[in-house]
């Protein structure tokens, strides 16, 4: 029996996943973004969507489902288009004369992140987001 007491290692447990989104263009958390979690038991297996959540006012999803035992890959799908469309509409209300009405829609309407997991570990994957780019990393 394992006696590892590190908080990121849980003996005989499935992997766990968490995420948060920071809108780097505003320097604030991105609230209200839908995030779905899918898992698969190997590189050639089909994805199974396990559930979805939305980011809270701190940009965090606190209730993503745990992947089942045997999961080797997880995919987080961030539906960012509605978030940016809402921000754009709010900005146009504040200063409509300064907006380019001919600008295209959201450049990245969704962000899909696929990463490998191991049972018993926690994986925190933050998304740093702006209208024309994004970055992710394994957090703690």
The 10s digit of each residue's pLDDT in 67-122 is: 999 999 999 999 999 999 998 888 776 554 444 444 567 899 999 999 999 999 99
Number of structural domains (the chain) is 1
**With contact defined as beta carbons under 8 Å apart, do 49 and 38 qualify?**
yes
**7 is a domain residue:** no
**68 is a domain residue:** yes
Q: How high is the mean pLDDT of the chain?
A: 86
- d(CA 45, CA 72) in angstroms, rounded, equals 10
pLDDT over 90 (residue 52)? yes
Which CATH number do you get for residue 56?
Answer: 2.60.40.180
Domain housing 21: 16-136
DSSP symbol at 97: G
């Amino acid at each position: 029996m394992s006696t590892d007491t590190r908080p990121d290692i849980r003996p005989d447990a499935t992997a766990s996943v968490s995420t948060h989104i920071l809108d780097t263009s505003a320097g604030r958390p991105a609230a209200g973004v839908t995030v779905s979690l899918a898992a698969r038991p190997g590189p050639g297996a089909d994805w199974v969507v396990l559930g979805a959540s939305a980011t809270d006012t701190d940009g965090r999803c606190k209730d993503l489902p745990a992947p089942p035992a045997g999961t080797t890959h997880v995919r987080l799908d961030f539906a960012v288009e509605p978030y940016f469309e809402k921000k754009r509409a709010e900005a146009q209300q504040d200063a409509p004369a300064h907006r380019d009405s001919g600008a295209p829609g959201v450049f990245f309407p969704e962000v899909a992140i696929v990463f490998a997991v191991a049972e018993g570990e926690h994986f925190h994957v933050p998304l740093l987001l702006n209208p024309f780019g994004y970055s992710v990393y394994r957090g703690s």
